[in-house]
Structure 1
């Protein structure tokens, strides 16, 4: 049975943490902490943009997260460090001393807030596509950085001491394509981590000029050279990563493109018109408007919406349930999703949970 059912929780939306169905989750990753001068800090505390009120709000969120353990004492709370455009990783990984300082800082951040693990979201080692510092040495240094954090976490687990089930955990968020594997030493990375959160979404993203699925389970017949979640899983497994360390990612938002003509899927759109509506917006505004028709791609096992001009690829209850069954069939570690506040009634969460565990 899959052991990971993980929610990423963005810190910036206004959201009542007490409503989270913690009994259905195994992990919550709070997103994000950032890196400042090699140390892990909350972004609200950095430089001239420091915001005391926002910092206090973030600290209160950690207290609210702790309260969820009354619903589920086995729930693990983790801090996710990084995110798209977050810099500082390459410098932190550069030397033995910088890696040790980063690892100590990350663990102290975790302990101060009574968390259970660390998730590194470096997008991406050896790759500057997000506008961050990147070096060729990142490929090996990422392995060394993870090993430093792993060793510090294991030491802390021994010092307390913690039982096997309660030991501090380490995970990463990983791109689900060859571009990601080209920038890392995948076997060393997998060995250091308890599990790997595959970002099996954004196949068509904010730069897309063509209407395509952004989180399809399988390749679409209309896009035979495109990506899919299944391709991402197969890619990592072909490089020696065991299925029991892979966590399948699901999005709780869509990818929209305007200026799309018939037939919708596969057609060109207007460059720069890309948006990312949340599932909340799709379910409460766009679908009830009556302007959009829902379509189903049987080969991709994914839905899409089209109003004659605007194309939206998204995840719904049907497609996410199929991913839950896939997780079981492939004997993966589990499933995760980005991010919880966009699933306003927890309907996607519930559909995924039922498909995996019922």
Structure 2
């Protein structure tokens, strides 16, 4: 039966404003590709899609998605949208906040929460306060770039504080190399006036997608999930210099696989999923989040990157059959196609 949802999908049209001098780099295309994947998927399953183009081309991303500006959102609503899919980077003061007095629903996060928890140091402090395992780290600014102190050995990982995926993430072998990396990252202004260095975890890397509480269709049955719950973890392999490559360079289907049934039964994996679910509750996630985890040399897992905006590309359009995201790969383990994943995400829409 056809629903009364009329969905418009947003994409990121401009970089978010700096926060306390820290900049979040923008993805080329602003997630228009995954937005078009989402819209195309919904349309072929009888969900009414509102698009900028009256006859969107399957190959043209921008035919399917609206810019996340006040004007773009207003246009989508004027064209009949009553659900806005926030497939974009959010922040306090995002244009969607201008529409809180309208009778619309959204799929996505609370903008002010993303603003807070996109800061990896803030998020790590929150997780540590609740006794969740996180790697040791230190913030480095232009002021202390020559006299910072590490309480953990090299190699270390240099990262943007408000990063995006593995962009700007570098494995550093010595203090001398770190000084060079610091000069490049701070000098580029791409990430703002500070970065952080984190202890390198040499063990297995897993990515966990955590879903929100709600009602889900799984194996043709409706199931009430009363708490946050995890999709099966995805193992990452074929790292480049110790770091999983950026998915814009290597499609994740080529270096990722879901854990086997036997692996999922391991005590340490079950414990890790509980920790990820607690983390999702702490940030009050309103849509799926992705948490990257990695083991140390002794096999102990740590949560090293909580991503409020997981990439949601998927094999919906004919020319993008190799573009399943890590979340889409995980979803297939529980019997969901990309279409099933997207429809279940739509079911968790909430009033702005």
Instruction: Give yes or no for TM over 0.5.
Output: no
With CA pairs under 8 Å and 6+ residues apart, which has the higher RCO, 1 or 2? 2
Question: Scaled by the length of structure 2, what TM-score is found?
Answer: 0.31
* TM-score normalised per structure 1: 0.31
